[in-house]
Chains A and B, each alone.
Chain A
């Protein structure tokens, strides 16, 4: 479904991503791991059009998407969450999701019909599925940190993506929030067969839910495979797992 081939991106003289390779098959949960500064977030920005690659190819369903604008990438079927919860703070929880649904339906240029009640059923369904239905009228900036991140996943889901990209979905979450978030990711993958690509610092979490893992070090892909294969890879051990001592 997604194929990244030797992608390079540098800022000034610094190569943030330097030869990243990745493939994601439909229905999989794939994790990208790597030490701080390995280029995971930059790679995700490249996939979703927030940055354009200097070289290399990014193919989604066989078509090049590298360098397209974010809103075009979204319409091709990739939506995402950001590392720092990225929501519409002055709008209510309901409106946050509603905008995403209306945008997908290409209704955002309707200027005279009232938005109130539009797509209500779908928005409610999405909010129920992520567990935010009771908070639907709350100003989204007043939510707890964990709920904000869950709301952002809900917003990303409203685009009906084929591929959902999550940049550190559980960063900064309390243990029970993390638990809830993992259940949500599992549910999305299991029930709707959604393809999910995420990066995460919590290694045990990665090995728990990912079907396959890609390891990045200094911008380059050093290994890719199942949890077991990655664990056995000597390069990974020396570069990453060995240092953290968690595995």
Chain B
């Protein structure tokens, strides 16, 4: 049933997303764009954590580097904007490669701890280097090309880029590479014993995740016209991680759902109460107890074995 409903659902979703800025007021269009790019960020993190099984605890760093890379190129270099939008994500991918080479020697939690440490180092540099990154003030009033500078323009730009990136990642998790990293997630020892070079695949997955995280960062520049060091602080990394857990990290679109819930909650619940994180905490607790595989994980049905097995 789900299979036949999927194209219709996708069509409906596309139509809604395309129509949103025409219906919604300016502020809500802005929120929708933030939802989209955060969903892209969460989906990219899930490539590392849900699909490769790596404890990627510092993912916001790649988001931040993607954003700062783009922002610095736009404000300080005379380069055309498209190059700036590419340099940010590439810088994030490069950083991901370097950090990956260092962290990949460790496994599980130790990988995550080292990644947080190295990420904090990057954050500290950005936070302190006033002459280059603007320090804790960040960079504001970043010049955006006219075509995508308006709220509607930036929304559509975000929508198109997010859709393309999510589609690319969807293809990746269904490719032989995607199967191999899922095998590594499930059982690295078994994967190596069938000839898969575990570390090389993990590294490739990290670089891809870092790149798409960087793309999300470059979208943030377009939507927000500014960057600040908090976006790469480790607490935000954890928030993105929570999005994956909430939505379901063993499903492709789970992080998308998780990101939407958390961003909307933050925006709309915080209007009414300063304690919006209390609401989030309650929801998360309930999800973990009742839906351990996340909101979307609940809908996944796995075929069960037949009664008898013929030899």
A-side residues, CB < 8 A to B, are: 48-50, 69-71, 74-75, 79-80, 82, 86-92, 95-96, 98-100, 102-104, 107-116, 118, 131-132, 134-135, 137-139, 142-144, 147, 152, 155-156, 158-159, 180, 183-184
Contact = CB atoms under 8 A, between A and B. Distances in A.
Contacts of B131: none
Contacts of B201: 108-109
Interface string B292-311: 00000000001111100111
Contact of A87 (B187, B192, B304): B187
B304 A99 contact: no
Interface in B190-246: 190-198, 201, 204, 208
24 contacts: A69-B192, A71-B194, A71-B196, A71-B197, A80-B193, A86-B187, A89-B187, A98-B179, A100-B194, A103-B195, A103-B196, A108-B176, A108-B179, A108-B196, A109-B176, A111-B171, A113-B176, A114-B171, A116-B174, A118-B176, A132-B309, A134-B310, A138-B302, A152-B190
B177 interface: yes
B interface, size bucket: 35 or more
B59 interface: no
A75 B303 contact: no
B182 A144 contact: no
A134 B168 CA distance: 33
Interface in B253-311: 302-306, 309-311
A103 B175 contact: no
B194 A156 contact: yes
Contact of B180 (A50, A102, A134, A139): A102
A109 B177 contact: yes
A88 B305 contact: no
A74 B177 contact: no
Interface of B: 168, 171-172, 174-180, 182-183, 185-187, 189-198, 201, 204, 208, 250, 302-306, 309-311
B196 A90 contact: no
B174 A114 contact: yes
Contacts of A138: 302-306
A137 B303 contact: yes
B309 A131 contact: yes
Given A82-B189, A103-B195, 12 more contacts: A79-B193, A89-B186, A89-B187, A91-B179, A99-B196, A100-B194, A109-B176, A115-B178, A134-B309, A135-B305, A135-B309, A158-B194
B192 A155 contact: no
A86 B191 CA distance: 10
Nearest to A99: B183
Closest 3 CB pairs between A and B? A74-B195, A108-B180, A88-B186
A184 B311 CA distance: 9
Nearest to A139: B302
Contacts of B302: 92, 138-139, 142
B192 A110 contact: no
A102 to B, nearest CB: 5
Contacts of B204: 109
Find the residue from B171, B178, B194 having the highest chain A CB count within 10 A: B194
B189 to A, nearest CB: 6
B311 A104 contact: no
Contacts of A144: 305, 309
Contacts of A142: 302, 304-305
B177 A111 contact: yes
B23 to A, nearest CB: 35
A30 B201 CA distance: 35
Contacts of A74: 192-195
A48 B176 contact: no
A118 B179 CA distance: 11
A99 B309 contact: no
A99 to B, nearest CB: 5
A50 B189 contact: yes
Contacts of B304: 138-139, 142
Contacts of B183: 88, 91, 96, 99
A147 B177 contact: no
A131 B193 contact: no
A112 B311 contact: no
Nearest to B200: A109
Nearest to A184: B311
